[in-house]
C-alpha cells in the first residue's frame, strides 16, 4: 500500500451512447455489469481490484469499445499530499 | 507572457475530461482544478437509476482518471468570484488563483422548489449530486406510503421508475400533456405515458403542484395540485429542470445568466455585447453556444456526451489557440421503466415525426424526426443498435421522411405532427418562469434551445 499504488484503483466507465447492449461485458464480468430490464446496462464504476481481470476481459470483448478503464498512475486527488 | 497557467473551475465530467485532454494536447504548464464537492469527479447518470434502486452504492460512481494530469486539485473549494481583467479566480476562503487560461465547467443544479410553496419541508428532495442521491435513497428506504415526483422529464421518469422498482407507490405530476413532451414531442411522449402507467405510476398530466404542505414538525404531508386535488406523500422529488451554476460569475462582465454562460462556437466565452474574451472558455452543462447546424439560436445540451466532447474541443482550442468549432451531433440516452431510450440529433426542432421501425405499442421502435423536409433527429427505444445509421443520414442532410425499407418498418410510414408544445410561447417555458426576466430581454432569434436531462 504505497502512495503510488493506492489499494483500490480499478475504475471504469461505459459510454452508454456508444454501447449497443450486446452484453459481452455481462458475460465476461457478471459481478460488475448487469442488464436491468431488457436493454438497460448498469455497472459498478469501482468494483475493486479483485475484478480487474474480468473487467479487462470485458473491455476487450466489447465490440464497440465503449468501456474505458482508469489509466492514471498518480495518486487520487483526495489522497494525502496531492493538494498543495 | 507565456500562457502557462490553466485553471479549470468545476471538477466533474467536463472539468476532468478537459484537464486530461489538455495534457493529451501537449499542454505542459501548471494545471489547477477547483471543485466545490468534496469528492473525486464522479458520474451522475447512475444516481437516478442504479444508485436509487439500491444496486450501486453512491460512492461507487467515481469516474476513472484516463491519464496522469499532474494537477493541483482544490476539492471541497468553491470559487466565489472571477476577476477577468486581473485574470484571477477568487475562492471562498479568500485565496486568489491566477490564470492565463480559464475553463468554466461549473455545470447546473436542480431548480429548487420555492420556499414559500413548501420547499423548506423535510421530505422535499432534488437530485443532482451524490449527497442528494444518498439522502433520497435513505428517505425511500424508510418506506414512505407514497412518493410524489414533480416533473416527468428524463430525471423525473428515472426517479419514478426506481421508486417502482422498490415497490413504492408513486404519483408523478407533469405540466404538459405527456411525459418528455418538450424533449421528444407528444407522439413519443404518449408512448412514454404508457410506460409510466404500466409500471403502476399514478401519472397526472396537465397538472402542476400548487403547494406542498407539512405537519407541525415541518415534515412533508401532502401536495395540493392545480386541479384542487391533494396527494398524501412523505417524500417529494422536484425534477423541474436545471439552473446554471453561474452565481460565482456575477459581476464578472461575462455573458451569464440562469441559462448558462454564452460562448462562441469555439467555446470562448463572450461579454454581454458579444465580444470574445480570448482566455476564458466554457464546456459542459453550463455552456450555451451557436451550433452551426442550428442557426439563429443558442444551444445548451445538458447531456453526458456533450460534456465530454465540448471539454475536448475547449481543451484543444485552449492548448493551441485553435479555432476548432464545437458542432457535435447531439446524443443522449435514458433508462426508465425497463426501457432504453437513445437519441441522436435534436428532436425538439422537428415539426414532424414518423415511426420508421417497430411500433410504439411493442416498446421497440425508432422515431425519425423531420423539419422542412430534412431528417433532424432519431429516437430509438429498446433498439440501441440502429442509431448509427440514422446519425449518418442526419449528418448527410437526408430527406424526411427517410427512405429506409427497414424489414421491421411499417407498411406505409406516415409522418405526423411531432406535437412539441407550442414553441414560441409557454413551451420554452420548459426553461420556465425563473428565467422569464432574462428571456424577455432576449430577442426572438436568440431563444435558447435546451434539451436538459432533468
Ligand atoms: C440524476 C442525473 C441523471 C443523468 N442521467 C443522464 C443520462 O442518463 N444520460 C445523459 O446523457 N446525461 C445524463 N445526465 C446529465 C449529465 O450527468 C451531465 O450532462 C453532466 O454531469 C455534465 O457535466 P458537467 O461537468 O458539465 O457538469 P456537472 O456534472 O454539473 O459538474 C459541475 C461541477 O462544478 C461544481 N461547481 C459548481 N459551482 C462551483 C463553484 N462555484 N466552484 C467550484 N465548483 C463548482 C459542481 O458542484 C459540480 O461538481 C444526468 C444528470 C443527472 C443529475
Ligand atoms: S459489451 Fe460493450 S456494447 Fe455490449 S453491453 Fe457491454 S458495454 Fe455495451
| CATH number, domain containing residue B117 | 3.50.50.60
- Residue B453 — very low, low, confident or very high, per pLDDT cuts 50/70/90? low
Q: Which three cell numbers stand for residue B140?
A: 425511500
Task: Please tell me the predicted confidence (pLDDT) of residue B437.
Answer: 31
**Residue B179 lies in domain:** 112-240
Look up residue B274 and give its three cell numbers: 458579444
| Ligand 2 shell residues, CB under 6 Å | A 14, 19-25, 41, 62, 64, 66-67
Given an 8 Å threshold on Cβ–Cβ distance, is B56 in contact with A73? no
Average pLDDT value for chain B: 92
Residues B431 and B439 sit within 8 Å (Cβ to Cβ): yes
B296: in domain: yes
Tell me: the pLDDT tens digits for B101-113? 999 999 999 999 9
Classify residue B289 by its DSSP letter.
Answer: B
Instruction: Tell whether B187 and B208 lie within a shared domain.
Output: yes
Indicate the pTM of the whole model.
Answer: 0.93
Q: Is there a contact between A42 and B56 if contact means CB atoms under 8 Å apart? A: yes
Answer whether B240's CB lies under 8 Å from B454's CB.
yes
Q: List CB contacts (< 8 A) between A44 and chain B.
A: 56, 60
Distance from C-alpha of B28 to C-alpha of B6, rounded to nearest angstrom: 10
Domain count of chain B? 3
- Using a CB-CB cut-off of 8 Å, the residues of chain A touching B71 are 77
pLDDT band at A84 (very low <50, low <70, confident <90, very high): very low
Q: Tell me: pLDDT of B61 over 80.
A: yes
Comparing CB atoms, the residue among A13, A42, A82 nearest residue B73 is: A82
Q: Which residue has the cell 437509476?
A: B49
Give the whole-angstrom CA distance, residue B138 versus residue B335: 22
Note whether B235 and B118 are same-domain residues: yes
Retrieve residue B47's grid coordinates: 444516481
| Same domain, residue pair B37 and B101 | yes
Q: Chain B residues with CB-CB distance to A under 8 A?
A: 33, 39-40, 42-43, 45-46, 49-50, 53, 55-56, 59-75, 304-305, 308, 331-333, 335, 337-340, 342, 382, 384-385
Q: Check whether residue B289 and residue B224 sit in a common domain.
A: no
Select from B94, B77, B353, B304 the least CA-distant residue to A78: B77
- The answer to the question of residue B203 being in a domain is yes
Q: What is the pLDDT of residue B451?
A: 54
- Is the Cβ–Cβ distance between B63 and B43 less than 8 Å? yes
Looking at the structure, tell me whether residues B236 and B248 fall in a common domain. no
Asked if residue B312 has pLDDT above 50, the reply is: yes
* Residue B130, phi-psi category: left (phi > 0), alpha (psi -120 to 50), beta (remainder): alpha
Same domain, B256 and B400: no
Atom of ligand 2 nearest to the CA of A28: 1
Among candidate residues B231, B240, B213, B222, the one with its CA nearest the CA of residue B159: B240
Q: Do residue B380 and residue B270 come from a single domain?
A: no
Percent of chain A with pLDDT over 70: 85
Based on C-alpha coordinates, what's the Rg of chain B?
A: 22
pLDDT-derived band at B29, boundaries 50, 70, 90: very high
Interchain CB contacts (distance < 8 Å): A and B:
109
Query: Looking at residue B103, what is its pLDDT?
Result: 98
Per-residue pLDDT at B413: 80
Supply the residue whose CA is at minimum distance from atom 1 of ligand 2. Answer: A62
pLDDT reported for residue B406:
79
Place of cell 467515481: B62
Beta strand pairing status for B5-9 and B235-238? unpaired
**Residue B411 confidence (pLDDT) above 80:** no
Could you tell me if residue B430 is inside a domain? no
Residue B70 has pLDDT above 50, yes or no: yes
Asked if pLDDT for residue A59 goes beyond 60, the answer is yes
Per-residue pLDDT at B3: 62
pLDDT band at B432 (very low <50, low <70, confident <90, very high): very low
CATH topology of domain A10-71: Alpha-Beta Plaits (3.30.70)
Q: Which ligand is nearest to the CA of A67?
A: 2
**Best residue for ligand 2 mutational test, from A13, A18, A23 (most atoms within 8 Å of Cβ):** A23
Whether residues B187 and B72 fall in one domain? no
Mean pLDDT across the stretch B443-452? 43
Strand partners of residue B300? B450
- Clarify whether residues B265 and B211 are in a common domain: no
Residues 6+ apart with CB under 8 A from B68: A72, A73, A74, B23
Note the pLDDT of residue B450. 52
What is the helix, strand, coil percentage profile of chain B, to 5?
A: 25, 30, 45
Amino acid at each position: 500500500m504505497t502512495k503510488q499504488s493506492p489499494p483500490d484503483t480499478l475504475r471504469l466507465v461505459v459510454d452508454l451512447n456508444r454501447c449497443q447492449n450486446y452484453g459481452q461485458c455481462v458475460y465476461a464480468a457478471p459481478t460488475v455489469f448487469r442488464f436491468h430490464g431488457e436493454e438497460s446496462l448498469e455497472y459498478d464504476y469501482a468494483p475493486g481490484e479483485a475484478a480487474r481481470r474480468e473487467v479487462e476481459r470485458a473491455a476487450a470483448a466489447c465490440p464497440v469499445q465503449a468501456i474505458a478503464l482508469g489509466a492514471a498512475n498518480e495518486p487520487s486527488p483526495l489522497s494525502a499530499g496531492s493538494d498543495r | 507572457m507565456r500562457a502557462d497557467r490553466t485553471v479549470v473551475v468545476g471538477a466533474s465530467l467536463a472539468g476532468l475530461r478537459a484537464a486530461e485532454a489538455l495534457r493529451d494536447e501537449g499542454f505542459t504548464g501548471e494545471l489547477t482544478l477547483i471543485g466545490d464537492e468534496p469528492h473525486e469527479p464522479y458520474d451522475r447518470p447512475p444516481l437516478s437509476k442504479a444508485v436509487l434502486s439500491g444496486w450501486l452504492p453512491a460512492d461507487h460512481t467515481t469516474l476513472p482518471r484516463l491519464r496522469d494530469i499532474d494537477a493541483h486539485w482544490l476539492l471541497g473549494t468553491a470559487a466565489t468570484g472571477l476577476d477577468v481583467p486581473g485574470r484571477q479566480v477568487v475562492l471562498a476562503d479568500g485565496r486568489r488563483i491566477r490564470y492565463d487560461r480559464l475553463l468554466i465547467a461549473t455545470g447546473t443544479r436542480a431548480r429548487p422548489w420555492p420556499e414559500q410553496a413548501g420547499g423548506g419541508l423535510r421530505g422535499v428532495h432534488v437530485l443532482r449530486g451524490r449527497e442528494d442521491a444518498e439522502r433520497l435513497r435513505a428517505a425511500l428506504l424508510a418506506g414512505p406510503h407514497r412518493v410524489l415526483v414533480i416533473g416527468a422529464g428524463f430525471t423525473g421518469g428515472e426517479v419514478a421508475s426506481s421508486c417502482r422498482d422498490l415497490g413504492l407507490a408513486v404519483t408523478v405530476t407533469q405540466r404538459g400533456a405527456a411525459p418528455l413532451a418538450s424533449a421528444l414531442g407528444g407522439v413519443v411522449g404518449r408512448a412514454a405515458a404508457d410506460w409510466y402507467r404500466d409500471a403502476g405510476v399514478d401519472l397526472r398530466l396537465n397538472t402542476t403542484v400548487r403547494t406542498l404542505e407539512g405537519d407541525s414538525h415541518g415534515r412533508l404531508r401532502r401536495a395540493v395540485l392545480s386541479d384542487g386535488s391533494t396527494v398524501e406523500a412523505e417524500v417529494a422529488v422536484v425534477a423541474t429542470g436545471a439552473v446554471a451554476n453561474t452565481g460565482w460569475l456575477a459581476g464578472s462582465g461575462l455573458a451569464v445568466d440562469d441559462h448558462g454562460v454564452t460562448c462562441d462556437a469555439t467555446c470562448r466565452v463572450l461579454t454581454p455585447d458579444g465580444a470574445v474574451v480570448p482566455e476564458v472558455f466554457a464546456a459542459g452543462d453550463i455552456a450555451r453556444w451557436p451550433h452551426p447546424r442550428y442557426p439563429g439560436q443558442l444551444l445548451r445540451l445538458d447531456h453526458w456526451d456533450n460534456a465530454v466532447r465540448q471539454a475536448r474541443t475547449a481543451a484543444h482550442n485552449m492548448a493551441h489557440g485553435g479555432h476548432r468549432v464545437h458542432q457535435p451531433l447531439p446524443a443522449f440516452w435514458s433508462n426508465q421503466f425497463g426501457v432504453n431510450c437513445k437519441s441522436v440529433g435534436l428532436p425538439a426542432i422537428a415539426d414532424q415525426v414518423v415511426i420508421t421501425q417497430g411500433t410504439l405499442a411493442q416498446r421497440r421502435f425508432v422515431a425519425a424526426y423531420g423539419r422542412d423536409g430534412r431528417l433532424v433527429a432519431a429516437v430509438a427505444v429498446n433498439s440501441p443498435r440502429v442509431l448509427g445509421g440514422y446519425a449518418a443520414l442526419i449528418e448527410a442532410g437526408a430527406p424526411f421522411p427517410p427512405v429506409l425499407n427497414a424489414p421491421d418498418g411499417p407498411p406505409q410510414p406516415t409522418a405526423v405532427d411531432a406535437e412539441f408544445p407550442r414553441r414560441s410561447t409557454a413551451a420554452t417555458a420548459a426553461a420556465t418562469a425563473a428565467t422569464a426576466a432574462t428571456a424577455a430581454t432576449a430577442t426572438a432569434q436568440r431563444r435558447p434551445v435546451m434539451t436538459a436531462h432533468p
